[in-house]
Amino acid sequence: MDENTKEKLNGYLELLGQIKQKTDDERTAVALLQEINKDIRMEKIRAEREANNDEPVTEKQKRFMKNLGIQFPKNITKKEASMLIDEELGKNNNSG
């Protein structure tokens, strides 16, 4: 096991021990630790997505916008394209 993995494992075990002290129930402590890890993963995913939002639009987004009849500027970002697509799909869902 590499040092980084050992360090993370020790951190999780320490956190698990602290949670067990507060709950007096190992199953509850494990469940809480799992939820904490899910929250951490989701925050990392959100941060990665936010960092990518300023990147240029993807070809897939361009094709989808064209199929929806959305006009868009040449230098549109992923985030802007996503917002236009969501807006257009919202109009289509509300009209039917």
Asked whether the CA dihedral 57, 61, 53, 47 is positive or negative, the reply is negative
- Length reported for the chain: 96
Token representation of residue 4: 């980084």
Same domain, 18 and 47: yes
Predicted pLDDT at 29: 84
Same domain, 48 and 63: no
Predicted pLDDT at 73: 94
Task: Give me the average pLDDT of each 10-residue run along the chain (96 residues).
Answer: 87 86 87 88 88 87 96 93 93 69
Total structural domains within the chain: 2
Same domain, 74 and 48: no
Same domain, 9 and 39: yes
Predicted pLDDT at 43: 93
pTM: 0.49
Predicted pLDDT at 32: 87
Domain range spanning residue 76?
A: 59-95
Start-to-end C-alpha separation, the chain? 57
Q: Where are the alpha helices (DSSP H) in the chain?
A: 3-23, 26-52, 59-68, 78-95
